[in-house]
Amino acid sequence: MKRKLPPLTALRAFEAAARLGSFREAADELSVSQSAISHQVKHLEEQLGVELFVRTPRAVELSAAGAAYFPVVREAFDRIANGTKQLLSPQEENILTVQMYSTFAVRWLMPRLNSFQQAHPGIHVRVNTSQSDADFSERGIDLALMIGQRRRDELHYEYLFSPTMMAVGSPRYLETAKSEGKPLDAPGDLAGHPILQVYPSANDWPVWLEANKVRDVDPDAGLRFDSYDHALKMAARGMGVALAMQPYVAEDLETGQLIDIFPDRRVRTIGHWFLIYPKDRINVRKIRLFQEWLKATIAADRTLSPLMDPAMASPV
């Protein structure tokens, strides 16, 4: 049967405009004029007989039909890009590039990574740290470790665990606060204490405070850092109270550098930890081996295994 496919140039214009939410940005990405993008999208709409965008004087938004069509087109382009990358770079099939947050890399994965390398010496792991979502089509990322929700249909989300958040401080800081008449006996006592905030995860403190019914603490008023690693190091030096979650803080709690100030007031995060990668790469050997090793290593970690929720475990 002969395939009925729309023009590739028009599909590229639509995919870029839908992904970026802008005809202008799509034009910049594809190195054409904005009018060319508009013309190609209009041509595609005429070919399909549906309106893909709702146009307003200030912006364009996907129509219901466009929103339904976009994931299909995006997945097709992603698969073409991945297939082309594999065709042109076969020498990289033994290099596994894993993207993750810097704190996860430093505080959990890297101390354990040698066991994977010993078990699979032919696979060379390349760690890429970033706070941004992984771009599997552009940046050569094979896998990503992230905390969040299952959102993108074209990605496989392998559930790992569901962490909880806790307020932590150094023993010295807590002793000093108590001697100054400002003991931290309940979450409401945080008012007037320096709060150490991680601004890429700015929702974490508000979620914890709301769950503990604390209204008069502004988490943005104190020192702000770009990673949990920095905030926890400053907390260990007695600079204030930080929020922590597993597995970032396990070693600090074990050594006594930090104390869980309110151990009965831990709050589950909104998101969960996943290992993610494109669905069309689910049978790639290096990905499968890393996934198996990672899940076994988490299951053997006594601080993380209790956080594995069987209800979340079914792969999507």
CATH of domain 91-162+271-312: 3.40.190.10
Residue 139 has pLDDT above 70, yes or no: no
Tokens of 7: 């023009």
State the pLDDT at residue 87: 63
Mean pLDDT (whole number) for 295-300:
96
Q: Say if CB 23 and CB 34 are below 8 A apart.
A: yes
Integer Cα distance of 120 and 126 in angstroms: 14
Q: Domain coordinates of the chain in residue numbers? A: 8-88, 91-162+271-312, 164-268
CATH of 164-268, one of 1.10.1040.10, 3.30.450.40, 3.30.565.10, 3.40.190.290: 3.40.190.290
What's the CATH code, domain 8-88? 1.10.10.10
Mean per-residue pLDDT of the chain:
89
Kindly state the percentage of the chain with pLDDT values over 90.
Answer: 61
Amino acid at 98: V
Specify burial of residue 309 (Cβ count, 10 A radius: 0-12, 13-18, 19+): exposed
Of 86, 256, 96, whose CA–CA distance to 168 is shortest? 256
Let me know if the fold of 91-162+271-312 is the same as that of 164-268. Answer: yes
More confident of the two residues 309 and 259: 259
